[in-house]
Structure 1
Amino acid sequence: MESWERSRRLWQHAFFLSWLVLTSAGPVMEVGRVLPVALVAGLAAWYAVWFVLRTPPVGEVPRPYVVGGGLLWLGLFAIDSSFLAVCLSVLVPYCMDAVRIGLVAVLSCAGGWLWHRHHESGSVTWAEIATTALIAISAATSVGYFSSVARQSDERKELIDQLQAAQEARAVAERQAGVAAERQRLARDIHDSLTQGLASVVMLLEAAQERLPDDRHLTHALRAARENLTESRRVVLALRPGELDDDGLPEALRRLSRRLSDETGIHANALITGALRPLDVHIQGELLRVAQEAVANARRHARAAQVTLTLSFMEDVVVLDVHDDGEGFDPDRAFAGHGLLIMLERMEQLGGTLLVESAPGEGTTVVASLPMATR
């Protein structure tokens, strides 16, 4: 893309130089003085300062350039009205990106040139009209061509940027999905082998201790086995995203709501709407963390009587909202705590959104939305 932009700038420089020579060569030869040559050279240098040395962003024409170029052109025009068409050279950078400005400049120069000839000689010949029309058509064609090239360049650059952004997002999602899947696999392997094996060892040692209750070595072995069993279960829980297992996010939300009801007496339920679709493991994990954080906040602060967790499968997004009928709070302070702020950052990193709707006395709703990405 950089080579394309360099090529575009070179075409702009060539366009400026050719039109500067075309519009000023004749009048300079007719006037035959040093000052017009110096002003034309000054205009070329002024252009070089702003567009060769400084290289502003594509499509941006610095205002100082227009002011300085306009003053140089006015100096030429004051010397001789034949320099009228030089104003087109000043507007060349505009002509590259704004075809209407270029066409207005071409027509103005053509009309001004005919007026200049009529003012000097009292009449305009058909040959001069035809020549001026051909030059104007050629100039308008050049302006249209370069403007279309510039427009296509912008569109192509935008498409390439979108493609690169999509590829990067896909790479990140695939990387995250791979990590999550590997963590799930490790958790299953540890649970099915090490944890189960340690559980069997603990059962055998407990049975042996019933027969030999005073055996000190057996007691130490049982304690060590239990500690290692606890550690292995901790590792499995750390590898799994919360309570997410092979049953998926919907069942994890149902378990979360049942536990909330059992432990607090709050009436909680989980609703699943839309056609169930397989979700990326990482997306399921992030949405479950949002649900856990929202439920924890409702449990600690809201004094709610009812909590509803709703998971909605839509055409291209999956939406989780957690609503409680508690005390509510000031929404301007929604992200003052670290929990919701972390959830917001996680959603934004995955291209999603997190909204918190609340008001004192009107409950709270947390809405998390992520693009649908199947595993």
Structure 2
Amino acid sequence: MVNPRVWPALPYLFILLPAVFSLVRQWRPEVLALTLAAVAWQWFMAGRTGRLAGAIAYVVVLLGLVAVLIRIDSLFMVICLGGFIQSFLLLPGWWAYAGVAATAAVLVSTRPWAQIPFSFLVATLVASAAGLAGQVIRSQNESRKRMIAKLAALGEENADLQARLLTGAREAGVLQERQRLAREIHDTIAQGLTGILTQLEAIDDPAKAGPRLETVRDLARESLAEARRSVQALRPAPLEQAQLSPALEEVAGKWSRASAVPATVSVTGDARPLHADVEATLLRVAQEALANVAKHAAATRVGITLSYMEDVVVLDVRDDGSGFRASGTAGGFGLVAMRQRVTRLAGRFEVETAPGQGTGISATVPALGREA
């Protein structure tokens, strides 16, 4: 491949090389003068052929000088090769073929008259075919350059989009982690502190405060342990040594002893180990539901039902308390946290309640196995 810096020198070489050989073979001042004139004309017109008029003037004058040189010495026919190339480089559209025809006419001008038409036709066709092929190649190169530029632009856009997606994913991850911590803190520390306050407020006689203080001490220890587990994203303590149904019975038993409200747990279907997130979600929902009953319901009994089905597992917590007027936005952070936990697992969370008719919450989540 020709170095791009060589192209500007080629027109001069097409004139100077045959001139050198011609002058070495026979010294002729007119050859030197015409050669210098052609070189000077090329130098003078450099940068002035951008317009059609300048390009035409350049080709016409140069071909005139070349025609005289060919009459003197046929070696200068080599210059016509450069003329063919320059015609396609400098002249647009059909003007390029006119320049080729003019160059071919100069090239065959020294041949016998009978051969001129055929030689002119052959020279024109060959040069035009070569020029056309060059134009096609040049057009393809330009298309490739434009395509490469578009691909580079698309690459930059994709890189920018990927960066924005990564930023969005990182922000979403941060938000999700904040929501997880908020739910865990609410379901562990907040519930534990609420239980502690409830026990302290129930102390009427300091002399008989021993059992309640023992309960307060247990609640404080459990709350601290659960807070550490929440920060470290570990499984709830009741699930460390047991499956979901025994863990629910343990939670319900502790809650009954602290609140003096009986809570029963029943299991339907074939109990089986579930994915850690499924078990943790249902256990937290049960804990929050029981905490809400203790704080708001004034209930006399609570029933917890865990139903294992083929594709889903359902947790129902129902009480006979005061209930409340349900609406699309009813409920505090506890209901919001429960709903977020369930919907995070592509589950369904429902609340059924009415003033004086108790409250029932239902959490339905996919029954993912522990190996999932």
TM-score category (smaller protein) = 0.3 to 0.5
TM superposition score normalised by structure 1: 0.37
Rg larger in structure: 2
TM-score normalised per structure 2: 0.37
